[in-house]
Structure formats: C-alpha cells, structure tokens
Structure 1
Amino acid sequence: MESETNDNISITSQLHLNNSTNANDRVDSYGFEMPEGYESYEKMMAEYVAVLTRRSIKWSKLLQGKVHVEKNLKVKRYVRKGVPNEHRAQIWMAASGAQEQLEKNPGYYHSLLGTEQQHDAKLEETVRIDMHRTFPENVQFRNSSEPCLQKALYNVLLAYGHHNQAVGYCQGMNFIAGYLIIITKDEEKSFWLMDSLLGRILSDYYSPAMLGLKTDQEVLGELVRVKAPAVWQAMAQHNVMWTLVVSRWFICLYIDVLPVETVLRIWDCLFYEGSKILFRVALTLILHHQAEILQARSMVEVCERFKLITQGAFTYDCHTFMQEIFREPGSLSMATITKLRETCREHIVAETPPLTTHPH
C-alpha cells in the first residue's frame, strides 16, 4: 500500500537540478559540487567511463535479471573490479543480507515510522539537528531541491533509531544513510543496508561506548607495527594516538575523506567482504605515503600529513586505487584481524573505567 504521508519516497534515478543551482555550478552524477581542480577529475572519469561500460555489460550477463546473487569467486572478482551504479543497490542488498531481511520483515520499516505519537521526541530532535549539516555541498539535500532527500534521510535515521535503541543515533550515521539513499533511491532498502552495516558488518562502532571503533583503530596500529614499522615508530615518537588520525576514516567509512567514486568502490567490497576492507584502505594510504608521513617532525605535522595523504591523484583514480588496496598491504586474513580484535578489545576494556550510572 502506498503511504499517504510519503514516508517511503521513491526517488527518481535521474538527478533533478532546479533553480537552486545556477549554470556555473558543476555537480557530479551523485549531486555533489565538484571540488577545485575538477578538470583532472573529469579527465579521469572520462577514461573511467570506458571501464564502467565494459563492467556493466559483464554484470548484466552475470545477473540476467536475478534479484539474489550467490557469493562465489567470480562474483567476488567482479565486485573488486567495481559494481556499475545501475546494479549497485541490488549487489549491496544481496551481498550484505539486507535483501533477505527486507523480504523476511514486510512492512516492518513503515511500522517503525508509525504515528507521530509513537516517536521518541529526543531522538527526533537529535536527528533533525543534523539534517542541514548533511552534505550541504550536495544539491539533492538542499531544501530547494525537488525531491529533497532530507525527508528520506530523516525517515531512515528515525526508523533506525527506533529499531536499534541501544544505538539510537550518533553523528556520522547521517552521512552513511545519505550515501545509501543516493545510491538506492529507496528508504526501505537504505534502512536495511544500515541495519547490515551497523548491526553486523561494523558491530559496536556506533554503540555509546564505541568499543568496536576503538578496537579497530588499535588493530590498525598493530597492523602498521608489522607492515610499516617506521611509521609506527614515528607515531610513538611524536606521541600521536591512532584515534587522532584515523577515527574519521573509520566512523564515516571514508565519506568526506576520499572522493565519492572511490568511497563507493570501497563500499562495494565492504558489503561483499566485510570490515576487512577498511583496514586494506587505511594500510594502503599509509604504506603508499610512508615517505611523506616520516617527514613530519611533530604531532601537528603528523596529523597534517594524514589529512594530505587522502587527497590527490592517487585517491581520485579509483580503479587504480582499488587495485592497490589488494596488492600493497599484502596478505591480510580475517583470522588475523579477529585475533587482533580480541587482544585489542581486552586491552581497551581493562583500561576503561566503568561507566557511572547517574539517576535520571
């Protein structure tokens, strides 16, 4: 049944640019304003379009109109080479288990939105505050856009807050939901993809204690100690905690850290292969730019270097970058990460004082 309140708006795949943008604005195919120096980005994209066209034909033959996609080495290889945008929502839904959850729970998403009386007022307020902060540089999220994706974003975040009350809402989730909505053009699918990401793939990243996020930052430090010992020594020498330089990489899943097309290619693998991909990306950025990081002479300079290594031609050329993340860090098994997670988590828990319960 179609919702009269338009709770689950169907967003057309064509980008609608209205009077809020003028002829001088340059936006990419996702609605983001082009950064300075977009000419080099456009040149790269012109070459990348040829790659995408070839991939699209191969994907269409592979899928043959099927909704469900079985996981195997061929599909994994295809995902690593990039999912064309027209198939992206379907592959993310199938690979992450979100499609299965959607089919098992018909009507559940709409029930979470329910009536105004059922809503948590504090949750509503917290979510609403972040609406105007979410992608102000994207024309689709501006109030003057038609359709304006802020309504869809609000619904998805509110529904997720009701669904996972232990997490509710915290900053960073708005950017993730925003990307999901841009790609899926569908609130319900975006909701179930959020559930896959936050509930299974990145467990404990967004819980109040953020134990999963803290653990993975420490895991990265241990991986750097083995794979780039000089960088690890420099971090220790300048007393730089990993949370200072990589927390945004992890909590925003590289949104606003790396270029949009590169982030989406990372997410293709994140939904298919899991959180291991986040480490591969971080290690590649660090290994590839070891020389620049080692030139830093203070904590401030180290932090500055970590900002700079996410910019430039290396990260814009998403196809080459994705090839590098599976080559440069070398072997990285899930078993290794799981073992490191157990050790790091124990260490963090042992050092964290218990939360004091305050009366309401």
Structure 2
Amino acid sequence: MWQNAVGNALALSKDAYKSYMSRATRALSVGSFPPDILALIEEDISLSLPTLHLFAPGRGPLYQDLKDMLCAWVVARSDEGLSYVPGVAKIAAMLLLNMAPQQGFLVLRNLLERHCMRSFYGGMSSRDDVEAYYRIFDTLLADGMPKIYFNFKQHQISPAAYLPDWLISLFLDHLPFEACARLWDILLLEGDSFLYRAALGILAVLEPRLFFPDRRELLELLKGENKAAIEVAKRDGRILEGAAKYEIYGVDEETLWERIDSMEEWWKESTWTRLIQRELPDL
C-alpha cells in the first residue's frame, strides 16, 4: 500500500538499490566511505524504534538491512552533493517493517523527494524554501489556533523551534508507534498538506500545556523534555526507555486523531494551495 501511495516520480529502476548498494559496499571495503557519516548512521540506527529491538546495532534481525539501506541512500545523495541527515534512519526503519529493502529504498528516495521533505533534508541549499514552509505553517496556525499562535509570538517561538524535529523523522521521534502508523497511511497518500494537518493536530493536543509564562519551559515542553511531566510520568509508571518523546504528555493515537478530525471545521485545501502558490510560486 505505501509503495503505491508514494509512487515512483523519480522513475528509479527496480535495480537502483542494488546499484547504489554495490557502490556503498565498494566504498566501505576500501575505506573511502566517510567515517564520520558511518558514525552518524550507527548512532541514528541506535535511536530508531528502539522498543521494537529489531534494529539494535549488531544483534537486531533487521539491523544490517537498515544499515545497508542508509549507506545506499548516502551514496545516492552524494551524487547531488548532499550528505546524511540524522532522523532518516527512523523513516527507513518504518519502511523495513512493511517491505523488503529494495522496495523500501525506492519508497524512501521518492518520499524524501516530495518538495516539503526535500526542503527540510536539503541543508543550506534549500534554506529559503524551508523559511517559506515556516511562514505557511505560521499562517495556518494563526487562522486555526490563534491562541497558540499569539502565545508563541509573545514568547518569540517560531516553527523553526519544533517543526524540523517533527518532520525530519516524520513524527517517529515524538509520537507513539501506533499513532505514527495511522498517520503514515494518510500522509503517504495525501502528501504535504496532511503533513501540516498532523503537525497542527499535535499542537492542538498539547494546547492545554502550552501557556507557560517562561519561554525556556515552553521550549522544553516542545522538545519533550518538560521536567514536571517527566516526573509525573515516572510516578505513574509511563516512562519506558526509548519511548516517543510526547508519551510523557499522554499523547496517543485516539486523542491525536480526534484533534485532526476536529480541524475539518476550519481546514481548507484551497487555503493550503493558495499559501503554496504565494510562498513558493515556482513550485
């Protein structure tokens, strides 16, 4: 299902993974694969869906498949002068739970070529596009959730403080696995607009917690590091090593979906299209 939903806009051949993997293997065997990138990959893998234990470095049954896919992805990106981005391992791991590495690689490449994701994965070369996506998000937030918008403005918190963390891992860092799986079913099919609806839905779930008088506390909450919430979660036995960051706030699939559904009252695809045309006219 996910492979069909994402498609193959890059027109990659079915042998693309084999080709890039062959190049990666040669580079690894002769020591020309950048060691700093290899270290980033290993660290990223160690943080990918750790509660499943399927990708645990050196012992997880899907560890080598994940490492191979990421090395092949690095080689493919190097042809465009782009490097590794921590967080991609979580996306690749999610794909490997649902398909073989060859298919997973094609989906990964095409998924991260969608304009919004490509912008956030593009480094300095796509900085202007990322800023445009921040403006789009701010406008949607102001329209649909003005209290949150004005509170963030008062504390000088822009989407740059939280949106990249959510999007680069497609929410896998912050939301429970079941919630992410359900979100992915829709966002892989509908694309960037639903990506933003999901992000707004997260803020809607967090809204009762977002009105701190202190900017530092608010930033800690958005990062999933609010000390008071952590202590409460520990006391209630809700802290699991490797759990999604927002589980300490009680964010779950049902609550998130209720908030996303409630956005039907004000969300309009025409507004999304108009904002894209205004902020990214060349798209």
Structures share fold, TM-score greater than 0.5: yes
Q: 8 Å contact 1:123–1:169 — kept in the other structure?
A: no
TM-score, length basis structure 2: 0.76
- How far off its partner does 1:280 sit? 1.2
Gaps of 5+ in 2: 227-244
Distance 1:127 1:190, change over 3 A: farther
Structure 2: which amino acid aligns with 1:163? A
Task: Tell me, in whole angstroms, the C-alpha distance in 1 between the residues paired with 2:167 and 2:58.
Answer: 32
Pairing 1:158–2:71 present: yes
Aligned partners of 1:292, 1:242: CA distance in 2, in Å? 17
Q: Does 1:248 align with 2:184?
A: no
Q: Does 1:217 align with 2:217?
A: no
Return the match for 1:315 from 235, 244, 251. Answer: 251
Q: How does 1:125-144 map to 2 (within 5 A)?
A: 125-136=36-47, 137-138=50-51, 139-144=53-58
**Cα deviation per residue 1:11-38 (whole Å; 9 max; x = unaligned)?**
xxxxxxxxxxxxxxxxxxxxxxxxxxxx
Q: 1:319 to 1:196 in 2, by over 3 A?
A: farther
Could you tell me how far apart the structure 2 residues matched to 1:327 and 1:283 are? 11
Identical positions, percent: 20
Please point out which of 14, 17, 27 is paired with 1:106. 14
- Paired residues of 1:123 and 1:161 also in contact (CA < 8 A): no
Identify which of 267, 282, 292 aligns with 2:209.
Answer: 292
Look up the match of 1:169.
84
Give the deviation of 1:203 after TM superposition: 3.0
Deviations 1:113-153 (A, max 9, x none): 12544569355640443314424534222245352x23211
Residue 3 of structure 2 aligns with an amino acid whose one-letter code is M
Q: Deviations over 1:273-292 (max 9, x none)?
A: 11212211222222344343
The within-5 A match list for 1:118-129 is 121-123=32-34, 125-129=36-40
Instruction: Output the amino acid matched with 1:302.
Output: L
1:228 to 131, 140, 145: 145
Superposed CA RMSD: 2.9
**DSSP-derived class of the 1:130 partner:** helix
Q: How does 1:1-360 map to 2 (within 5 A)?
A: 91-98=1-8, 105-115=13-23, 116-117=25-26, 121-123=32-34, 125-136=36-47, 137-138=50-51, 139-145=53-59, 147=61, 149-164=62-77, 165-166=79-80, 167-184=82-99, 186-200=100-114, 202-209=117-124, 210-211=126-127, 212-294=129-211, 296-306=212-222, 307=224, 310-311=246-247, 315-316=251-252, 318-319=253-254, 321-328=256-263, 330-344=265-279
More helix by share: 2
Structure 1 position 101, deviation (Å): 7.0
Confirm or deny: 8 A CA contact 1:205 1:213 kept in the other structure. yes
Distance in 2, Cα, partners of 1:123 & 1:257? 29
Question: Residue 228 of structure 1: CA displacement?
Answer: 1.5
C-alpha distance in structure 2 between counterparts of 1:337 and 1:284, whole Å: 15
Q: 2: CA distance between counterparts of 1:271 and 1:310? A: 22
Does the 8 Å CA contact 1:283/1:329 hold for their aligned counterparts?
no
Amino acid at match of 1:208: G
Q: Given residue 106 of structure 1, which amino acid in structure 2 is its aligned partner? A: K
Q: Aligned partners of 1:182 and 1:240: how far apart in 2?
A: 36
- For 1:322, the aligned partner's letter is W
CA distance in 1, matches of 2:21, 2:68: 7
Amino acid at match of 1:269: I
Alignment: residue pair count: 250
Q: Is the 8 A contact 1:224 1:232 kept in 2?
A: yes
Q: TM-score, normalised by structure 1?
A: 0.61
- Structure 1 gaps of 5+ residues are 1-90, 347-360
Q: Secondary structure at the match of 1:94?
A: helix
